Amino acid sequence: MKSFFKVLFYNIIIIVVLLALLDPLFKKNIAEHQLLRSQRTVILREYPPNIDIYKTPTEYALSRTNNLEKKPYRIRTNQHGFIIGEHTPKADSADIIFFGGSTTECLYVDENKRFPYLVGEKLSTDSNKKIVAMNGGVGGSHTLHSTINLLTKGISLQPETVVLMHNINDLALMCKTGEYWTAPETRSIIQKNGRPVSNKKLRGRISDFFKAGKDLIFPNIYRKVKAISNKSASKDIDEWQGYRNLKSYPYPDMERQFEQALLSFIRLARANGIEVVLMTQFNRLRTDDDFIRNVYAPQRKKQNVSYDDFCTYYKDFNTLIRKIAAEENILLIDLDQQILANKEYIYDSVHLTEKGSEQVAEIIANALQNQ
């Protein structure tokens, strides 16, 4: 019996190797067959629908903050991939959708204290009817990502209002690449779909085969083990590797592109009968904030923009948001002017503490009620 399984095992190995050797011969025919089938897709930056997980900040992340508590933070999403809270109903429509990056996501805030959820709760209490507010914030997203999300899944929920808050992710990307269209894979608008026809040598193709088998048979165990093994090395992950070329890009070009992106979002929402609210972004990007300056300092050799210039550009982006809101006759919620720039409300350069999130929710709810 042992010899039978031994022979079977070796036969399988031989077949796999033969198939790997023969596979390149079919590459041309497959490529011709797929000429009209692009393997690229437009990325939908969202959390997976219907998840319920916990995320704890790493030691490296904590070292770049002050006043952030190390504990598990719960993340739940609904069937549409929007972040929800304890009492968010399972609904196929929304009254308000918040779009933005990690500053809207509020990852390291308790789920029932994240401002998009709190706004819905406050408006529901004051109006005596359920107001469904969904949180479409995703870390690393910029304005064009939010526009894509509005187009592909936001409009179908028929919201009355969409609230947009972007600044730092747009600025950080354009400072490094000069445009929205060139970006690391984690932030790229267009990505490869699936596994393209391989150009690798036999060794690489066999490696891909076993990786695919791992993904099929025990993906969750693998990811858990990988997460544990990579825990201590998380600080070494740099999504911008290869994009830190120290090339300088003209600020007016960045401002022009940011304006075009904001207007694209506004036009899309209005074309579908949705009211738009713009918000400036709260922050501690001040030249006199020594903590934030010191966090920025170790990266200075990898940056093409000084801390002082970055603070100026960031301030100018908020000014541009105010200008567009006035020109487009859109409600502006000027959080940059209303949230104190200290660690009590913002635990790093731009992310809210629980207290800061509660205050932001109060400001937004009042503004929406009084418009």
What is the arrangement of strands in the sheet containing 52-55, beginning at the earlier edge strand?
A: 52-55, 73-77, 83-84, 133-137, 96-100, 161-165, 275-280, 331-334
Q: What is the mean pLDDT of residues 7-19?
A: 77
What would the pLDDT profile of 310-333 be if each residue is shown by its tens digit?
A: 999 999 999 999 999 999 999 999
Closest CA to 313 of 305, 325, 322: 305
User: Model's pTM, two decimal places?
Assistant: 0.82
pLDDT at 192: 77
Q: Which helix (H) or strand (E) holds 28?
A: helix 27-33
Same domain, 290 and 343: yes
Q: Domain containing 146 — which CATH number? A: 3.40.50.1110
Read off the DSSP letter of residue 68.
-
Same domain, 177 and 305: yes
Q: CA 307 → CA 251, 255, 295, 341, distances in Å?
A: 15, 18, 10, 17
User: Residue 193 falls within a domain, yes or no?
Assistant: no
User: Residue 13 falls within a domain, yes or no?
Assistant: yes
Q: Which helix (H) or strand (E) holds 191?
A: strand 190-192
Determine how β-strand 52-55 pairs with β-strand 73-77: antiparallel
Q: What is the mean pLDDT of residues 259-287?
A: 98
- For the ranges 132-136, 155-159, 209-213, 366-370, which has the lowest average pLDDT? 209-213
User: Residue 333 falls within a domain, yes or no?
Assistant: yes
Same domain, 330 and 353: yes
Same domain, 143 and 230: no
d(CA 322, CA 128): 32
d(CA 281, CA 318): 7
User: Residue 192 falls within a domain, yes or no?
Assistant: no
Q: How many domains does the chain have?
A: 2
What would the pLDDT profile of 176-229 be if each residue is shown by its tens digit?
A: 999 999 998 889 999 876 444 444 455 555 565 565 555 555 555 555 555 555
Same domain, 80 and 222: no
User: Residue 194 falls within a domain, yes or no?
Assistant: no
pLDDT at 28: 55
Domain that holds residue 120: 43-187+244-370
Q: What is the mean pLDDT of residues 137-165?
A: 98
